[in-house]
């Protein structure tokens, strides 16, 4: 039985790690855009229906947001909700493992 509980926890932990990675990826993109907007005349958005001046779009290597990668507020909230859910699941699976067997796996960590 402890092996089954440990397997369930490991599955939940993988889901938690995946949810954390999605939020970190989201954070990196938002940070990148924030940094780009510090110099708005040297920043552009691609793959959208709005045109920027030629001197901006023709500049090689200019920081760019691909509009297809930008998340809606709904998608951001969904990723955060998934993270919270995955954390609760991992925490519950961790607590289901007998204390004597918990040393076999890494705890889910802090929120």
- Cα separation, 73 vs 79, in Å, equals 10
**Summary mean pLDDT of the chain:** 94
pLDDT of amino acid 40 = 95
Give domain status of residue 109, yes or no. no
Q: Please give the tally of structural domains in the chain.
A: 1
Is residue 19, in this structure, part of any structural domain at all? yes
Average pLDDT over residues 33-60: 94
What percentage of residues in the chain have a pLDDT greater than 70?
A: 99
Q: Is residue 97 part of a domain?
A: yes
> How many CB atoms are located within 10 Å of the residue 27 CB?
10
Residues 6 or more apart in contact with residue 6 via CB below 8 angstroms: 97, 101, 104, 105
Question: Where in the sequence is the domain holding 97, given as residue range(s)?
Answer: 2-104
Q: Mean per-residue pLDDT for 103-107?
A: 91
């Amino acid at each position: 039985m402890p092996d089954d509980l440990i397997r369930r926890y490991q599955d939940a932990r993988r889901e938690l790690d995946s949810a954390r990675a999605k939020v970190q990826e989201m954070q990196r993109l938002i940070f990148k855009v924030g940094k780009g907007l510090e110099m708005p005349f040297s920043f552009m958005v691609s793959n959208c229906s709005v045109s920027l001046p030629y001197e901006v779009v023709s500049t090689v290597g200019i920081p760019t947001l691909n509009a297809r990668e930008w998340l809606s507020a709904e998608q951001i909230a969904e990723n955060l909700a998934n993270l919270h859910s995955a954390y609760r699941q991992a925490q519950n699976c961790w607590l289901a493992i007998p204390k004597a067997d918990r040393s076999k796996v890494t705890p889910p960590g802090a929120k």
